[in-house]
Structure 1
Amino acid sequence: MTEGNGAAPAAAAPEQVKMQVLGQFMRDLSFENAVAQRGMQGSDVQPDTQVAVSLDARKRSADHQFEVITKFKITSKNKVNGEVLFVVELDYGGIFHVEGVPEDQMHPFLLIECPRMLFPFVRRIISDVTRDGGFPPLNIDTVDFLALYRAELARRVEEQKEAAPVA
């Protein structure tokens, strides 16, 4: 069957990408207030905060379902003396139903698009935990998951080059 305007049949159109967040959860959360543990020593505090992010994704047993885990480790140190102020570790996951993504694009999709959907919730949890832990709320900068993905690919390529035997 052809349409009257000469357009190709609808069946020839590429499949539409469908993504749905089925659930979100904290797999692990820890907050260590090092200042409170050692007692306050002076008021000259200039925080230097480092954020490390890692990602993991896996296929679930149900069709088109994937679990994506974002792992954040935030360490805040005093620039003046290098002492740790606090450490936050958060593993935050989402369960996604994904259809219409070509198999060769699924890995980047899961490690770029899915974490983007989770990030606002991660930011809020980290802000609340640092505030509740006695510090000003930490609103971490937006993470560029595309750049993170590309950096990980580049790191793996370099790792393979170093491991390859020289002929």
Structure 2
Amino acid sequence: MAEENTPNGVEAGAQPQVRMQILAQYIRDLSFENAVATKGAPQGEVQPEMTVQVSLDARKRGAEHQYEVISKFRVTSTNKGDNSTMFLAELDYGGVFHIEGVPEDQLHPFLMIECPRMLFPFVRRIISDLTRDGGFPPFNMDPVDFVALYRQELQRRAQAQTEAGAPADQRLS
């Protein structure tokens, strides 16, 4: 029995194989503010509390099958005692990806989950080095659950559209 192949070598009826390649990764924007150096050290006991905010953006590039994904991280350290800011680090880290074989209806979650997951180890190292070089202990960021982040964004958009009075069939587009 002969196998029937399509022109790209995939068996008829089979899912095309996903192909992802990182073409480039780069720091788009980076800033670090050491508030302790400018205002002076906090008085009394210092109990740092860290907050991390993450946002993502993805867009199609001009070349076929190429996408740019930007991960934005904002790390703030405050002193629990007096709620003063100790430092603020902001990093926009981008990657250019060549992606093939992902069905169109799954491309958006793929871009917003898998691509940032590939970039995260580099982001973590940059933030760690940045805080250490800024005069603080290195901050080793916990792994980010990009699936949960994606689901939260879908819920937020659905709620915003519901509040705006959009019909139900248009909510998750």
Runs of 4+ in 1 over 2 A off after TM superposition: 9-12
Distance (Å, rounded) in 2 between the aligned partners of 1:57 and 1:10? 31
Which residue of structure 1 lines up, in the alignment, with residue 7 of structure 2? Answer: none
Distance (Å, rounded) in 2 between the aligned partners of 1:36 and 1:125? 21
Distance (Å, rounded) in 2 between the aligned partners of 1:165 and 1:59? 26
Distance (Å, rounded) in 1 between the aligned partners of 2:59 and 2:81? 42
Q: 1:27 to 1:11 in 2, by over 3 A?
A: same
Equivalent AA in structure 2 for residue 97 of structure 1: H
- Kindly state the Cα deviation for residue 60 of structure 1 after the two structures are TM-superposed: 0.3
Distance (Å, rounded) in 2 between the aligned partners of 1:43 and 1:131? 22
Identity %: 66
Q: 1:12 to 1:41 in 2, by over 3 A?
A: closer
* Residue 122 (1) aligns with residue 119 (2): no
* Residue 17 (1) aligns with residue 18 (2): yes
- Kindly state the Cα deviation for residue 10 of structure 1 after the two structures are TM-superposed: 2.4
Distance (Å, rounded) in 2 between the aligned partners of 1:163 and 1:20? 39
Q: After superposition, where does 1:1-167 map in structure 2 within 5 Å?
A: 2-3=2-3, 10-164=11-165
- Kindly state the Cα deviation for residue 165 of structure 1 after the two structures are TM-superposed: 7.2
SS at match of 1:10: coil
SS at match of 1:105: helix
Distance (Å, rounded) in 1 between the aligned partners of 2:166 and 2:113? 33
Instruction: Write the deviation string for residues 63-109 of structure 1: whole angstroms up to 9, x where unpaired.
Output: 00000000001111000000000000000000000000000100000
What is the aligned-residue RMSD (CA, Å)? Answer: 1.6
How many aligned positions are there? 161
Q: 1:81 to 1:165 in 2, by over 3 A?
A: same
Segments of 5+ residues of structure 2 without an aligned counterpart are: 4-9, 168-173
Distance (Å, rounded) in 2 between the aligned partners of 1:131 and 1:43? 22
Distance (Å, rounded) in 2 between the aligned partners of 1:66 and 1:125? 23
SS at match of 1:94: strand
Distance (Å, rounded) in 2 between the aligned partners of 1:123 and 1:149? 19
Distance (Å, rounded) in 1 between the aligned partners of 2:128 and 2:90? 12
TM-score, L = length of structure 1 = 0.92
Segments of 5+ residues of structure 1 without an aligned counterpart are: 4-8
- Kindly state the Cα deviation for residue 31 of structure 1 after the two structures are TM-superposed: 0.2
Larger CA deviation: 148-157 vs 40-49: 40-49
Equivalent AA in structure 1 for residue 2 of structure 2: T
Larger CA deviation: 33-42 vs 102-111: 33-42
